[in-house]
Amino acid sequence: MEIVVCVKPVPEAESRLRANGAGTAFDPEGVKFVLAGYDESAVEQALLLKQAAPGSRVHAVALGPPGRTDEVLRASIALGCDSATAVTADVPAFHDPVATARELAEAVRGLGKVDLVLFGKHAGDDEEGLVGSAAAEALGLPFVGFVVDLRHDAGRLRFRRSVERGEETWEAPLPLAVGLQQAWNDPRTATLPAILRSRKAPIARRASGPPDAAAGSSVAERFALPPPRQGAKMIEFKSPQEAAEKLVRLLREEAKVFP
């Protein structure tokens, strides 16, 4: 099976973000971009499928400036991906999802015959969740989202899909594009020798195409951090009754959690 995982470089969870000069995105200067969350699970899922079907290959693809893509692609190789492709584009931290999807789809097409394209359900930074389905459309592949536990069985895939109050069990033929639900699979940690090897691994590079007027043109207008949280309010009391009365009054009048 030829499996592609599209991975997005996202800021490290502990990053302290600030707005860029134009106030339209966070300033990527000094921010460390990593393979995180859903994409890490997607890589893990791809590697599990590869283990179950020997001879399979896993390709990682990412879009962005080399400073961002290379770290996540090397991390993917260190985890066990066989090859990596960077679509080099000087895109802002928030890039139009349909344009991103088209660029990724071109890169996936460039890899030749592909049986399965995996995406995290959504990215760990903007949480838009649009790229997977848009890329599937651009590739002409069927897309199923919110998937867990993919298994390969004689040219078909079996998987489960979380739905409200339950779960569906699916079976689908290849080729297919899939958006994976959150980390159910306890992603592996790359070993030190694998990390060292990944540092020397080749990364195939594609230049991004010219701006596509037909591909969506959504532009982030404003980026702002949430206002600082207000400190907790301490209730002073002499008896439990007094504490309860004051708490109920605060919940009703200030927090407005009851009418």
Residues of this chain that interact with another protein (CB under 8 A) are 70-71, 74-75, 78, 189-193, 195-196, 198-199
Rank residues 18 and 199 by Cβ distance to another protein and give the closer one.
199
Minimum separation from the CB atom of position 50 to another protein (A): 20
Minimum separation from the CB atom of position 51 to another protein (A): 17
| CA distance linking residue 80 with residue 88, whole number of Å | 22
Minimum separation from the CB atom of position 198 to another protein (A): 8
Rank residues 68 and 102 by Cβ distance to another protein and give the closer one.
68
Rank residues 200 and 256 by Cβ distance to another protein and give the closer one.
200
Rank residues 14 and 221 by Cβ distance to another protein and give the closer one.
14
Minimum separation from the CB atom of position 233 to another protein (A): 15
| CA distance linking residue 36 with residue 113, whole number of Å | 27
| CA distance linking residue 219 with residue 206, whole number of Å | 24
Rank residues 14 and 254 by Cβ distance to another protein and give the closer one.
14
Minimum separation from the CB atom of position 199 to another protein (A): 5
**Per-position DSSP letters for the chain, written without gaps between them:** -EEEEE---EE-TT----B-TTSSSB--TTPPEE--HHHHHHHHHHHHHHHHSTT-EEEEEEEE-HHHHHHHHHHHHHHT-SEEEEEE----SS--HHHHHHHHHHHHHTT---SEEEEESS-TTT----HHHHHHHHHT--EEEEEEEEEEETTEEEEEEEETTEEEEEEEESSEEEEEPSS-S------HHHHHHHHHS--EEEE--S--TTS---------PPPPPPPPPPPP-SSHHHHHHHHHHIIIIIS----
Rank residues 34 and 117 by Cβ distance to another protein and give the closer one.
34
Minimum separation from the CB atom of position 230 to another protein (A): 16
